[in-house]
Amino acid sequence: MNYLTHQELAAWLDHLAQEQTLIAPLNIAGNILYRPVKDTHEVVWDFTRSFMSVKDVFFPPTERLMLIEKLNGQVKLTETLPEGESIIFGVRPCDARGLLTLDALFIENEPVDPYYARRRENTTLIGLACPSVGASCFCTNVGGAPDDPTGMDIMLTASNGGYVAEIITEKGEKISKKFPVFDGLSEIRPHPTHARKRELRVPPKEAWPARFNDDFWAEMAERCLSCRICAYVCPSCRCFDVRDEALPGGNGQNQAERIRCWDSCNGIPYRKVAGGHNPRFMKNQRLRNRFFCKFYYFPLHYGPVSCTGCGRCIDACPVNVDITEVLIYMGRR
Amino acid sequence: MAFEPKIIAYLCTWCSYTGADTAGIARLKSPANIRDIRVPCSGRVSPEIIMRTFEQGADGVLVLGCHIGECHYNTGNHRAAKRLPVLQALLAYAGLEPERVRLDWVSASEGERYSRIANDFTDTVRTLGPIHWRVAERGAHFVWEQEPISHRYSAFSDEQPKHAVYHTAIYDEQTLILQAAARELLTNKLVDCVIGFEVGPRGRTRPAFIHQPENVERLVWNQDCTHNLSAYLSKKLGWGTDGGKKKQPDKLPKAAVVVKPCDSRSINVLLAENRFQRDQVYIIGMACDGIRQGAGFSNDKSGPIQTRCAACNVRTPVVYDTLIGDSEATYREIPPEHIYPGIDHLDALTPIERMNFWLSQFDRCIRCYACRQACPMCDCPICLYERDDSLWVGMGIDVDEKRAFHLGRAYHLAGRCVGCNECERACPMDLPLSLIHRKMAQEMETIFGYRAGMAVVPPPFVTILGGEENLP
């Protein structure tokens, strides 16, 4: 184990920031968001949970997949893979688990997504255990923990006024050697974060299909606004839409780009198919899909549930649609 | 080389386009900067077209139509005359120099006038220099580094106690009256559903839909009833955008809705726009003393009232079938500069500073459309900014597209927004949306003397189809 004082940690991060992009939690007009920083000067060290997860570093809201140009009567396609290495400081365990969900879809199963894979490869995660559990957090109920190092490259836990650091992967090892603060000699062990476990049982995937036609979905969806907050703040929601769009200007050349943007199954056009039919035109169908996706469809194809229990959707929903109420309902006989 | 602006001119085919031709035949000098686009009428030039033109890199936009009274379609140019000043105000507020948009009138025989306007406008835009409107770089971030501009009302910040006392006993009493009213409506089958408020398991007050008389005890009335429930009405009663099912004209659905005074104003706008019939909705009006800050999200039951409520002068619903309560709160006359502190602050900045401010705000937007979905007025079957065949805005979640969406939405709400602040409350990224919508409301009041929702009168920009035309 390694023990770092706050100053040592900041000095190490500042050193890393000179070589690579350092992404860290910042307070932007009252919201904690992960943004690139030049040094640790403005970093927020103490926070419960960022507003948006680290998902958007790997799976940005909008990204160009390729550039399409018309040159001398020929069409030229240029793939635009992300460049550069980066480090994210202050990743919470729920977000790291969210990335594992995205990995299952984008990397572990064919076809591999080169854009996401490249970013994953070139990014090192420095985790930071949660000091406490937020009012809407329920990570312990879906297999996580506030100090769970799963998916991190280096895990930090605040302890005795400094941080206990555990190097987990080779990537973590590599960045730890860049500045002499890791001696591996500390006897201090991190204290586990006190997490009261809620009485909340996540039903097995087999329990879900029988409840597909329940009236419950229509009742709870009645107040749903069909916005996309829940999907966009979710660390494991990963739906997207791809479109070719013309670029303005272009010095007389015909230029277009293929872009990929976030999408959400709560949006009305999400499920629309050719010919205009929309098999999920009712909002209860759409909202139900969100929960079935997390607890039934995803486990069916990839194994674990895809909810990480971060509780962001609960806090952000303007009309209090609550995923834990769904779990409570499903837990009833 | 001196800067030569790129100017797009939209010319009415019946007059100005011919006017430009006349200028050519008369061999009058016209600047080569202008690209003419022929349109059927200046009324056809929607604000979206102009905004998109700037997005695509134009340095100036000139709109020329027939003189008032000479429109080929009688009133097409009246629309242009009404819209352009409001659009100009909106774009100026967002940081574009208002001189970059000009509306003028040129008849078919006025070649000389066309030439003069074209030269003059080109000179003006040339003096302004290149436009900085489009950002274009994907993923660029903007941070506002100057003094923060608050979108909250400052009028009462000194005198208001940090913790307000709410009259719980009165709320409880009114809750019982409300439940009794709802029970009666449902038992006698006067309505299919009562839309009201309930308290969820987390203690958060939220919308509730009561279909059975035995469930009316879920209904509450308290200091946290912040949602504008009229947002659900159009979809429940009207043209059936959710579900795609067309309602049968002989059996129109009926609903009762619990409204605060501010929400009742939005019902008037919806009625004026024929979204549903008056007898389809039973309005349970609540006299309102003000709603708590953070209502709908936090569980703190004693926070101060929302500052918009402190400045509200409509304490009793403007339209109702049953009125519950009697507001004790009094309205205090507040000078406008205290009601709209952020607007004044922004107006005092330079255009480029204003643009930077708004970019730093739209930067945080995640395009989740919560603002639009929570808005009672935003109920187009498919939003113009979300159509898959839309050319008004790209699909990207980047600052250009987000700005186009928010400004477009602000324009669509001009004269319709009642200031319920639902968009701002629903916004997960805390965008100061009320700063735009209040500004537009101010403009509409100044230009047209119109305040949205005070009576069932169509807003200035809205064209209403007759009741029969609107039915499926």
Q: Closest Cα to residue B435, out of B447, B423, B446? A: B423
Say if the Cβ atoms of B243 and A282 lie within 8 Å: yes
Strand partners, A91: A127
Q: Mean per-residue pLDDT for B418-437? A: 91
Q: What pLDDT is stored for residue B26 in this prediction?
A: 94
pLDDT tens column, B183-222: 999 999 999 999 999 999 989 999 999 999 999 999 999 9
Task: Return the percentage of chain A with pLDDT > 90, whole number.
Answer: 69
pLDDT tens column, A203-251: 999 999 999 999 999 999 999 999 999 999 999 999 999 998 888 765 5
Q: What pLDDT is stored for residue B139 in this prediction?
A: 76
Task: Return the percentage of chain B with pLDDT > 90, whole number.
Answer: 62
**In the predicted model, what is the mean pLDDT of chain A?**
90
B406-428 b/e (C-beta count within 10 Å ≥ 16 → b): bbbbbbbbbbbbbbbbbbbbbbb
Closest-CA residue of chain A to B144: A29
Confidence of residue B461 (pLDDT cuts 50, 70, 90): confident
Say if the Cβ atoms of B373 and A226 lie within 8 Å: yes
In sequence order, the 6+-apart residues with CB closer than 8 A to the CB of B314 are B261, B262, B265
Which residues of B are less than 8 Å from A258 in CB distance?
Answer: none
Read off the pTM. Answer: 0.92
Which residues of B are less than 8 Å from A320 in CB distance?
Answer: 200, 202, 204, 206, 296
pLDDT tens column, B73-82: 998 999 999 9
CA distance B126 to B413: 33
Q: What pLDDT is stored for residue A227 in this prediction?
A: 93
Q: What pLDDT is stored for residue B471 in this prediction?
A: 47
Task: Tell whether the model's pLDDT for residue B95 goes beyond 80.
Answer: yes
pLDDT tens column, A136-151: 999 999 999 999 999 9
Q: Judged by CB atoms within 8 Å, which residues 131-170 of A form the interface with B?
A: 136
Contact of A227 with chain B, judged by CB distance below 8 Å, is answered with yes
Say if the Cβ atoms of A319 and B243 lie within 8 Å: no
pLDDT tens column, A154-184: 999 998 888 999 999 999 999 998 888 887 7
- The secondary structure of A52-93 as a DSSP string is S-THHHHS-SEEEEEEEEEETTEEEEEE----S-EEEEEE-H
Q: Judged by CB atoms within 8 Å, which residues 68-127 of A form the interface with B?
A: none
**In the predicted model, what is the mean pLDDT of chain B?**
87
Say if the Cβ atoms of A223 and B209 lie within 8 Å: yes
Lowest model confidence (mean pLDDT) among A251-255, A289-293, B49-53, B109-113 = A251-255
Alpha-carbon distance B110 to nearest alpha carbon in chain A (angstroms): 33
Intra-chain end-to-end CA distance of chain A, in Å: 47
AA letter at B121: F
Question: Mutating which of A38, A65, A222, A285 best tests the B interface, going by the most B Cβ atoms within 10 A?
Answer: A222
Say if the Cβ atoms of A227 and B430 lie within 8 Å: no
Say if the Cβ atoms of A229 and B370 lie within 8 Å: yes
Total residues belonging to chain B: 472
Q: Which of A30, A249, A314 sits opposite B430 (nearest CB)?
A: A30
| ipTM for this model | 0.92
Q: What pLDDT is stored for residue B162 in this prediction?
A: 55
Comparing B307 with A115, which gets the higher pLDDT?
A115
Coil vs helix vs strand at B97 = coil
Q: Mean per-residue pLDDT for A14-32? A: 92
